[in-house]
Amino acid sequence: MDTRRLLRFSATVLAAAGLLISGCTSGGAPSEASGTGPAADAASGPVSADPSELKKYYEQKLTWRACGVPDFQCATMKAPLDYAKPDGTEIDLAVARKKATGPGKRLGSLMVNPGGPGGSAIGYLQAYAGIGYPAPVRARYDMVAVDPRGVARSEPVECLSGPEMDAYTQVDQTPDDQAEVTALTDSFKKFAQGCEKRSGTILPHVSTVEAARDMDLFRAVLGDRKLTYVGASYGTFLGATYAELFPRRTGRLVLDGAMDPSLPARELNRDQTAGFETAFRSFAEDCVKRSDCPLGRKSAADVSHRMKTFFAQLDARPVPTGGDRELGESLATTGVIAAMYDESAWPQLRQALGAAMNGDGAPLLGLADSYYERESDGTYANLMFANSAVNCLDLPPSFTGPDDVTKALPSFEKASPVFGKGLAWAALNCTYWPVKATGTAHRIEAKGAAPIVVVGTTRDPATPYKWAQSLASQLSSGTLLTYNGDGHTAYGRGSDCIDTAINTYLLEGTPPPNGKKCS
């Protein structure tokens, strides 16, 4: 298992993504002019380049074309590889839209991002947001998305071949001796070397700050004076970073499944480890009530104990899957974690665990493959590659080396007896990254921004509720909306209370009262 601080980008669409935050803001210019030009806000700090050097990007015209899905259009937007040297190399960013359907006056563009880092915003738009967001919202807004740099259709980061990735995902991430520690660190080094070899040019330029700057280009090219945006999971950090860089260009922002940008990487990883434990405990409490619970019906604590025991058994003796790959502890753990993002997956998890305990690892392997975005032909989407590339650039690594992980293990295992050891070792990956981190943990206040709605779910596995509380308190215009429930993110997951509050904000500009709670 290799979670790499992964966050599910949407509980509605089963796909994997990741997390993390950056902090190195490169600022902007002291004037907004018309609100669609290259200058950033006065409060955003020093200018990294003469705004006139960015003019051609802000004033570019897109050529829209049909792109395979009815009613959707796609285009390619140019951006500088390096915003500090905007006259240098250019990159192509994929963008897409679905125009407002009416009735009612068009309100502009609603940009969406599903999280990750590494989740395809265009894929999310076409598969869900552009057709599944509430009809009144889609009627009044053009639904738009840009795949962030390094992701999917936008200069994707590449690292390993399919067979190499298969081997990588099966490496033991709960090492029991020095040989296993060496094998794990060697796998991280090989992954990093593969990224550098295949994507060395773009690797230093996929930070969240740069992705936020790309969002501002897209806003301007679309003709919007302010950004209206719904970001989920890591997308909340991307949105908060935008608000920090461009507070006066920030319109109606919804940050669902929020991250806390003030925390260093190790603390983020440990908090998320506790989040998965909270989610698994909720699953366990439900499981004991079900006749098909394969982990027993004695108590939730006993379910957790049996789960940990079964992982240990798989570590020693993987089970067959009917294919070339066996189900060992790493893949099994990833499969369980995948089901924590949405409680509707719990029946599937019970079935998969039951099958694995009876010698058939295929169903649980299927959950792991969905998490890694592995196709049936053995190829992988670039989700995991982009995830590491952004995470490792946004924050200094959690650990300096294996000895550092060993010292931290007790705190991780306290946070989660079930997942703690594996998640601690998984956080070692950025230690060997070939590009030095450019971001740092810091508070985001975004002074001068319009009201920003921060949404937190009380038993969210990937973005613990306390992160939403923290981000809402940091943002000078933040307002906290709470969903008391399970799963990752809240908007569009069945709560009329949540959906009504967010729809009202998007359509009328009226945020919910700070502290509003829904169930």
Angle at 168 between CA 174 and CA 264, to 5 degrees: 60
The pLDDT value recorded for residue 7 is 43
Q: Bridge partners of 145?
A: 96
Query: Residue 37: which pLDDT band, with cuts at 50, 70 and 90?
Result: low
- Distant-in-sequence, close-in-space partners of 454: CB < 8 Å, separation ≥ 6: 236, 255, 258, 468, 471, 472, 475, 478, 479, 480, 481
What is the Cα–Cα distance from 160 to 448, expressed in whole angstroms?
Answer: 43
For the chain, give the number of residues.
Answer: 519
Q: Is the pLDDT of residue 516 over 70?
A: yes
Q: Is 460 a catalytic residue?
A: yes
Of 2, 166, 172, 460, which residue is the catalytic one? 460
pLDDT digits (tens, 9 = 90+) for 359-372: 999 999 999 999 99
The pLDDT value recorded for residue 22 is 24
Structure tokens at 478: 């933040």
Query: Residue 208: which pLDDT band, with cuts at 50, 70 and 90?
Result: very high
pLDDT digits (tens, 9 = 90+) for 442-458: 999 999 999 999 999 99
Q: Is 442 a catalytic residue?
A: no
Task: Please give the share of the chain, as a percent, with pLDDT higher than 70.
Answer: 90
The pLDDT value recorded for residue 52 is 80
What would the mean pLDDT of 38-64 be, rounded to a whole number? 68
Of 233, 330, 388, 398, which residue is the catalytic one? 233
pLDDT digits (tens, 9 = 90+) for 317-340: 999 999 999 999 999 999 999 999
pTM of the model: 0.92
Of 2, 394, 488, 495, which residue is the catalytic one? 488
pLDDT digits (tens, 9 = 90+) for 154-199: 999 999 999 999 999 999 999 999 999 999 999 999 999 999 999 9
For the chain, which residues make up each domain, given as ranges? 1-519
Which whole-number Å values give the CA distances from 277 to 91, 137, 264, 340, 412, in the listed order?
41, 35, 20, 10, 11
User: Does the domain spanning 1-519 belong to CATH 3.10.180.10?
Assistant: no
Average pLDDT score over the chain: 91
Q: Is 205 a catalytic residue?
A: no
Among 108, 72, 101, 105, which residue's Cα sits nearest to residue 219? Answer: 108
Which whole-number Å values give the CA distances from 361 to 163, 324, 347, in the listed order?
19, 12, 16
Q: Got the DSSP string for 424-466?
A: HHHTTGGGG-SS-----------TTPPPEEEEEEEE-SSS-HH
Instruction: Supply the angle between the helices 208-222 and 383-394 in degrees, to the nearest 10.
Output: 110
Task: Give every strand in the sheet of 250-256, ordered side by side.
Answer: 65-66, 73-80, 90-98, 141-146, 108-113, 227-232, 250-256, 452-459, 478-486, 516-518
Residue 183 near residue 421, CB atoms below 8 Å: no
- Which residue carries 């790309």 as its tokens? 214
